[in-house]
Chain A
Amino acid sequence: MSWTLDNLDVIGQLLGRHLLLSLPPIVLSLLLAIPLAWVATRVRVLRAMLVGGSALLYAIPSLPLFVILPLVLGTGIRSQWNIIVALTLYGVALMLPATVDALAQVNPRVLDAAQAMGYPSLSRFLAVELPLAGPTMLAGLRVVAVSTVSLVTVGAVLGVPSLGSLFTDGFQRGITEEIVVGLVLTMLLALVLDLLIAHLGRLLLPWSRPLRRGAVGQGAP
């Protein structure tokens, strides 16, 4: 424990940077996946392309992507933007198919009813279709969050500091404790974000909570 106690400020700093590198890709994945999924569910040809493309995108190994991106973006190899852009790409690759599936699962009768009530098509999407896709999308977003937190560590190899720096530094200097701390904190951070998103989802989608027993079918038919 002595290494940990001696380096609490460094660990804290790295934890903070890790969080700052993780949050933008998670949020951006969600925000980008929604309009892309909207297009994919309405244009059949694009659906196959976008969903297939996502799988392909996710198959690109992360290290080469981190190396190629600076060339494409014109950023320095140590810029945090490389990490954010790369992880957003991976995030969208996960989130887009999840969102497409989630939208496809929405009961078409409900959408029909909304149209018959006089919802204009954009507000029908935003106020009916999207919220009803919410629970399934939420499951996708939790995977994105955990995956992103884990992938941020790869950036350490390129010199972008995060909890991953504890692995690289620990390996170089032969400090096992440092490696273990990096590993445990990464997993804890992933767990905390996962639970936070799940909780936020329950707050935003109160109707999707399991139904209370005994609340059904009282009174007049």
Chain B
Amino acid sequence: MWQGGDTPGEDLAVITFEHVAKSYPDGTRAVEDFSAEVPVGSTTVLVGSSGCGKTTLLRMVNRMVQPSSGRVLLDGRDVASQDPVTLRRGIGYVMQSGGLLPHRRVLDNIATVPLLEGVSKKDAHGRALELMDLVGLDRSMARRYPHQLSGGQQQRVGVARALAADPAVLLMDEPFAAVDPLVRRDLQQWLLGLQGELGKTVLFITHDIAEALLLGDQILILAPGAQVAQRGTGEEILAQPANDFVRDFVGLAAGERVLHPSGSGDRTVLLDAQGRAVGVLGEPGQHR
């Protein structure tokens, strides 16, 4: 009842890009001709170097960027036909450093969208406290300002805020890029668990191939101009890289991702490119 508007969760599910392109008046072509589908309840990762147009694509979904041609559909409906403000309130958005409002306390930050939708402060705050539990933040932090939290905590608040209106779709714009590597790994694992629980339709952007392989059910490797170098599961991409660009991007060309079996004893030990032992070979089909 706290999710406002006439956009109940189930309505917005699949994101479809239909031949979208974006060029700017100065002649820059950020996106050439991009088509893709983000299936319901799964995580699709757009991965590419900075300037490849991935953020432009993400921002087309909630109309922060208007495509020069082509369409973006949310569950079959062209987003261009929808009121941008209503559309945005129905889509969760997480950005780097959380993008929190520095002048609002944690609780008010999380409750931003419900409060905008006119939900009473009491209900919105009650829901925000539940979300703090969900994202693993102690309720004692509710009255703090964002600058009084660590980077990782801010990021959790950012996710909680994105979930506050219970959107079916989450857009995540390099959310973990600004936190240190250890915290990033924690947050990635945590997000995997959370996604397993919630099953949102997630469009995730990163320049980090390791993050893409970890989080993506579907991965799109983008070359400049948002040209799709390869799309598939992490397994498919590592098993059959489509071209040298992909091989290079995922680190196969430099041998970073190649492990060599070393058959001493009962188990097969796997060595990395430098010959360091990184693990042992398990039985087929025993992975999670």
Contacts and interface: CB of A to CB of B under 8 A. Distances in A.
Interface stretch (B118-126, B145-153, B271-279): B145-153
Contact of B116 (A113, A119, A208, A215): A119
A105 to B, nearest CB: 12
Nearest to A215: B148
B21 interface: no
B141 A117 contact: no
B103 A220 contact: no
A75 B18 CA distance: 67
Interface size class of A (residues with CB under 8 A): 20 to 34
Interface in B56-115: 62, 64, 85-89, 93, 95-97, 99-105, 112-113
Nearest to B97: A109
Nearest to B171: A116
A131 B64 CA distance: 23
Interface string A58-81: 000000000000000000000000
A117 B93 contact: yes
B259 interface: no
A16 B103 CA distance: 37
A216 B88 contact: no
Interface in B5-55: none
A221 B112 CA distance: 22
A91 B104 CA distance: 30
A211 interface: yes
B207 interface: no
A107 B85 CA distance: 21
Given A112-B64, A116-B62, A220-B152, A215 B144 contact: yes
Contacts of A205: 103
B200 interface: no
Given A109-B95, A207-B145, A217-B150, A118 B88 contact: yes
B97 to A, nearest CB: 7
Nearest to B99: A113
Interface string A174-210: 0000000000000000000000000000000101100
Contacts of A123: 116
B141 A219 contact: yes
A221 to B, nearest CB: 3
A205 B103 CA distance: 8
Given A131-B103, A212-B148, A116 B153 contact: no
B112 A117 contact: yes
B136 interface: yes
A117 B116 contact: yes
Interface string A86-110: 0000000000000000000001011
A112 B99 contact: yes
Nearest to A107: B102
Contact of A117 (B89, B137, B144): B89
A120 B88 CA distance: 10
A110 B99 contact: yes
B3 to A, nearest CB: 13
Contacts of B104: 207
Top 5 closest pairs, chain A to chain B, by CB: A113-B99, A221-B152, A217-B150, A118-B89, A118-B88
Interface of B: 62, 64, 85-89, 93, 95-97, 99-105, 112-113, 116, 136-138, 141, 144-145, 147-150, 152-153, 156, 161, 171, 179, 182-183, 186-187
11 contacts: A110-B100, A112-B99, A113-B101, A117-B88, A117-B113, A120-B85, A207-B102, A207-B104, A207-B105, A220-B137, A221-B186
